[in-house]
Amino acid sequence: MINHPIFRIVDFRVVSPYTLEVAFDDETKTTVNFLPVLAGELFGPLRDLKLFNQVRIDTEVHTLVWPNGADFDSATLHDWPQHVDALTDQAREWERKPV
C-alpha cells in the first residue's frame, strides 16, 4: 500500500501557456509548467493549447483533469519540483517509442 499525503486541489489559474498556478487545501500554491511532460499517448495531445486550456478540477478526486482523460495525482502536483525531472525523463522515453 502506498502511503503518501492526500492533497486536494481547490483552485487553479492559467499563468502562461501550459503553466498553471495550483492551489491546495493545505493553503499552499505551486506553479506547474506542464510542457516538458506533455508526451505520449495520454499527455501528448495536451500540447494542443485549446485542449490543454479545457483543464478543470474533478470534484470527486480533487485533481486536475482534461477531456481526453489525462490527469495528474494531486500529491505529484503539490510537490512538483521534486517530481518534474523524473516525469520529464519519462516523457522523453515516451517520445522515443514508435507508435
| 3-class secondary structure, 14 | strand
What CATH code is carried by the domain that includes residue 77? 3.30.2020
| Total domains present in the chain | 1
Domain contains 4: no
Domain contains 1: no
Domain contains 35: yes
Neighbouring residues of 25: CB distance < 8 A, sequence distance ≥ 6: 7, 8, 9, 10, 62
pLDDT tens digits along 25-84: 999 999 999 999 999 999 999 999 999 999 999 999 999 999 999 999 999 999 999 988
Identify the helix (H) or strand (E) that includes residue 57: strand 56-57
Domain contains 3: no
Q: Which of 17, 6, 16 is nearest to 79 (CA)?
A: 6
- State residue 57's pLDDT score: 97
Domain contains 2: no
Residues spanned by the domain of 71: 9-96
- State residue 88's pLDDT score: 86
